[in-house]
Amino acid sequence: MQRIGILGGTFDPPHIGHLILAQYTMESLNLDHVLFVPVGDHPQKEVTRTSPEQRLTMLRLAIADNTAFEVSEVDLWRPGPHYSADTVQIIQSQYPQASLHFVMGGDNLKALPTWTRARDLYACCRLAVMKRSDEKIAPDMHEAILPGLAEKVDIVDAPMLGIWLSSTHVIERLKDGQSVRYLVPDAVRAYIVQTGAYQKIGS
């Protein structure tokens, strides 16, 4: 049985933090692959800075040198609203023999009781929760509200990447005309420079 991780996000742009977290999760849980799942455009949410096509291109460039990383377009083109439970169920239909592990941060585990169809999510997969050293979270923290959740949670010790390592920080540096070398993969940086993907930010 394949063991597949699912890592969703806007990836606008994808940066090395995304790759590091995926690698740590894969090794910690002995996964065979990690699927990067870029979200589509959501009218009810903050608009992404670049088009779905641009984000898809950058993400493919970012993971091109790692055969264990793949891109799934499951959320990119279908109409919303998109719920994580639906995403996982669609991926499960594509990989019927696989064990799926939905990657989330500790803050998402804390907020899980507020998620739409939270029970449907952990009913069809395991939750790989990235825990920072300063976070106080536990698999059974919502057991009274979400029965059975505790046995579906795997805690993964997250590397201390720092709050600065984010897509927002990358955008701020681009906005200020500063280099993003070492913050994003070289191929992504070259794409940003060549296409001017973020040249209109701040205007």
Spatial distance between the Cα atoms of 192 and 159, rounded to a whole number of angstroms: 27
Q: Which residue has the tokens 């992404």?
A: 48
Residue 159 has a pLDDT of 80
Residue 199 has a pLDDT of 82
Residue 47 has a pLDDT of 64
pLDDT tens string 106-154: 999 999 999 999 999 999 999 999 998 888 999 999 999 999 999 999 9
Spatial distance between the Cα atoms of 44 and 35, rounded to a whole number of angstroms: 25
Residues 6 or more apart whose Cβ sits within 8 Å of residue 157: 24, 28, 131, 133
CATH superfamily of this structure's domain 3-195: HUPs (3.40.50.620)
Q: How many CA atoms lie within 13 A of 197 on its CB side?
A: 23
Q: What is the rounded average pLDDT for all residues in the chain?
A: 92
Confidence of residue 75 (pLDDT cuts 50, 70, 90): very high
In the chain, what percentage of residues exceed pLDDT 90?
Answer: 80
Residue 146 has a pLDDT of 98
What mean pLDDT comes out for the span 92-114? 96
Residue 130 has a pLDDT of 94
| Residues 82/42, Cβ–Cβ less than 8 Å | yes
Task: Give the strand pairing for 33-38 and 99-105.
Answer: unpaired
| Residues 88/121, Cβ–Cβ less than 8 Å | yes
**Domain extent listing, the chain:** 3-195
Peptide bond into 81 cis (omega under 30): yes
pLDDT tens string 62-71: 999 999 999 9
pLDDT tens string 15-45: 999 999 999 999 999 999 999 999 985 544 5
Spatial distance between the Cα atoms of 91 and 203, rounded to a whole number of angstroms: 39
Spatial distance between the Cα atoms of 135 and 163, rounded to a whole number of angstroms: 14
CA end-to-end distance (rounded Å), the chain: 50
- Whole-model pTM: value is 0.92
In the chain, what percentage of residues exceed pLDDT 70?
Answer: 93
Residue 164 has a pLDDT of 60
